[in-house]
């Protein structure tokens, strides 16, 4: 997993409440167990019209937001079923940060495990950041994880809270496997001792 330290990118405004995982990646695209390739179907039913062409009104299809790496969203982002394909699709598209007032618990946890940063802010802060995001190509935010700050296009800075353990995992680029591998020396030592104490198990 890549380390997350600091990101400056275009923020796309999605002032929609209750964006669920089926909206993020519809069920017909869940046949794969690979994390790559899902980005092309992110928000499929909103991004594309019935004939397969792009919906020009959808924010991520607008020229200013095609390269967005941040989404500023309405309350309760990631609700619905627990599919891990949702953060996979966002990540594959290039979205690294999602800012909202609240997230569904499973989506929130899965985001960290996939190297994405979900940021919870209060309603007043979200309104300000949503206003920043609606500036089109000038909607650039800088997220500093170490400092726990969000800097807007006008230089204004707001702080955000994050669990210290999750923060450290992102800074070091550690998913569950990475965390386990950090203890590989202790695991090897334990296995060697067990072979000595219980050789019949070897």
Q: Tell me, what's the pLDDT at 171? A: 95
Within-domain flag for 197: no
Taking Cα atoms as reference points, which of 107, 116, 104 lies closest to residue 170?
116
For residue 7, what is the DSSP state?
E
- Location of structure tokens 């940063």: 117
pLDDT for 181 beyond 60: no
pTM of the model: 0.86
Question: Which is higher by pLDDT, 101 or 155?
Answer: 101
Q: Tell me, what's the pLDDT at 17? A: 96
| Per-residue pLDDT band at 183 (split at 50, 70, 90) | low
Within-domain flag for 108: yes
Range of the domain at 97: 6-174
pLDDT digits (tens, 9 = 90+) for 96-117: 999 999 999 999 999 999 999 9
CB 160 within 8 A of CB 103: no
Within-domain flag for 202: no
Within-domain flag for 183: no
Q: Tell me, what's the pLDDT at 161? A: 97
Q: How far, rounded to the nearest angstrom, does the alpha carbon of residue 62 sit from its chain's CA centroid? A: 21
Average pLDDT of every residue of the chain: 89
The pairing of strands 97-100 and 70-73 is: parallel
- Location of structure tokens 């167990």: 33
pLDDT digits (tens, 9 = 90+) for 6-50: 999 999 999 999 999 999 999 888 777 677 789 999 999 999 999
For residue 101, what is the DSSP state?
S
pLDDT for 185 beyond 90: no
> Which CATH number characterizes residue 145's domain?
3.20.19.10
pLDDT for 180 beyond 60: no
CB 75 within 8 A of CB 14: no
Domain count, the chain: 1
């Amino acid at each position: 997993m890549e380390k997350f330290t600091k990101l400056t990118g275009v923020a796309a405004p999605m002032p929609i409440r209750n964006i669920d995982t089926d909206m993020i990646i519809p069920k017909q695209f869940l046949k794969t167990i690979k994390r790559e390739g899902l980005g092309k179907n992110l928000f499929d039913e909103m991004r594309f019209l019935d004939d397969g062409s792009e919906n020009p009104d959808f924010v991520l299809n607008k020229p200013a937001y095609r390269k967005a790496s941040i989404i500023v969203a309405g309350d309760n982002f990631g609700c619905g079923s627990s599919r891990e394909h949702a953060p996979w699709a966002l990540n594959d598209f290039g979205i690294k940060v999602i800012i909202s007032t609240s997230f569904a618990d499973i989506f929130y946890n899965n985001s960290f495990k996939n190297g994405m940063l979900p940021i919870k802010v209060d309603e007043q802060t979200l309104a300000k950041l949503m206003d920043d995001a609606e500036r089109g190509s000038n909607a650039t935010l800088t997220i500093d994880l170490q400092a726990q700050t969000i800097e807007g296009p006008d230089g204004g800075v707001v702080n955000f809270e994050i669990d210290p353990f999750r923060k450290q995992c992102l800074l070091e680029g550690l998913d569950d496997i990475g965390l386990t591998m950090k203890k590989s020396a202790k695991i090897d030592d334990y296995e060697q001792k067990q072979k000595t104490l219980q050789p019949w198990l070897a």
